[in-house]
Amino acid sequence: MPELLRLLEESVNMDSPSRNKALCDRMADWYEIQFRRLTGGTVTRLPHEVAGDRLLCEWGAGSRRILLLGHYDTVWPEGEASRRPYGVRGGRALGPGVYDMKLGLLQAMFALKLLGDEGRGPAEDVTVVLLINSDEEISSPSSRGLIEQTARGCEAVFVLEPPMEPEGALKTGRKGSGRYKLIVEGIAAHAGVDPSKGVSAIEELAHQIQHLHGLTDYGIGTTVNVGIVHGGIGTNVVADRAEAEIDVRVKTSAEAERVHALIAGLRPHLPGARLRIEGRMMRPPMERTDAIARLYGLARRIAADELGFELGETATGGVSDGNFTAACGVPTLDGLGARGDFAHSPDEYVRLDEIAPRTALLARLIETVAAGERR
């Protein structure tokens, strides 16, 4: 525990914003050193011209594979670690990225170290892979293909994102997400002299926003939200351009296809207006399959019978790289990282008293799946 906390302080005090390659590469250097030192495993560095380098860390040399999935990038800008460095207060560790998800990565490394130190692995026929991503916080644009390629053929994926509070539940379902931009072109005119000659892009957009929000169906878990709008150049001008940015969340792949088709098929309400749609579904849903349910059942049994705590499950509208692995058909269990709260907030923290039991849970899950048990 003291060594883990020392490393946690080091990592939190290193900025790693998603869009700063130099700082991300420095963070990758640090994690590469720690993985080799703590586990004795190997690291393959996967460079990228724009994003930070990704790390493919391997423990063992068998043909059967178990994937641990996490990211070292954070939402925080350069300089945040200096302004708000790591600290401990009232049983909590604080600092930028401590909860999302620098502790989760260290818990994975220490879970493997625990197994190795106690002679409990790696099994001869198993390789545990820790894939550390560098751009998860911006939807993994450079890493999705790598994540999917690595996941295919794995027996299980354990995602190191935080569990769901207030109960620390694991995530067995996540909604899929889409991002779209609706661009409306109208006809400009003087709003006082000859407004009838114009076609207001803003008026057209208002009709489209009402229609888009009407696609929300809470009963099936579908939400469509227009979150940003722009339009016009002055109050005395009939606007010839307006645009809206749209967030979509859905529970199933079939619903994702349906909503995408509806958005792609939008038609103008006003004569003379024109529409252009950009965007797509960014992450597929993580649907709760029977295989995921069995994997959760295994985790719940280990927690109750061996570690002495109750472990719940939940579904969430938030997304992670686990969406990609689950959509590949690989049993995926999310939320195996640090307990705490307030991700993406200056109040972000982790609970120190939960580090040991959650690290032990991950270690036992790895060990049990490696032994061939998944129920």
Tens-place pLDDT, residues 281-299: 999 999 999 999 999 999 9
Give the mean pLDDT of the chain: 97
Domain of residue 241 covers 176-283
- Residue 374: its pLDDT value, please? 55
- Residue 372: its pLDDT value, please? 87
Q: What is the average pLDDT across 101-107?
A: 98
- Where residue 252 falls (left for φ over 0; alpha for ψ -120 to 50; beta otherwise) is beta
- Do 117 and 14 share a structural domain? yes
- Residue 97: its pLDDT value, please? 98
- Do 225 and 366 share a structural domain? no
Q: What is the average pLDDT across 246-262?
A: 98
Q: Which CATH number belongs to the domain containing residue 257 in this structure?
A: 3.30.70.360
Domain boundary among 283, 313, 341: 283
pLDDT at 208 exceeding the cut of 80: yes
Please tell me the total count of domains within the chain.
2
Q: What is the average pLDDT across 156-173?
A: 98
> Model confidence at 179, in pLDDT bands (50, 70, 90)?
very high
- Percent of the chain scored above 70 by pLDDT? 99
Residue type, 105: L
Q: Which CATH number belongs to the domain containing residue 111 in this structure?
A: 3.40.630.10
- Do 297 and 220 share a structural domain? no
Using only C-alpha atoms, what is the Rg of the chain? 23
- Do 352 and 268 share a structural domain? no
Q: What is the average pLDDT across 182-204?
A: 98
- Residue 115: its pLDDT value, please? 97
- Residue 121: its pLDDT value, please? 84
> Model confidence at 177, in pLDDT bands (50, 70, 90)?
very high
- Do 310 and 252 share a structural domain? no
- Residue 75: its pLDDT value, please? 97
- Residue 80: its pLDDT value, please? 98
Which neighbouring-strand residues pair with 65? 127
Stated pTM of the model: 0.92
At 354-371, the pLDDT tens digits run 999 999 999 999 999 999
- Residue 122: its pLDDT value, please? 85
- Do 128 and 29 share a structural domain? yes
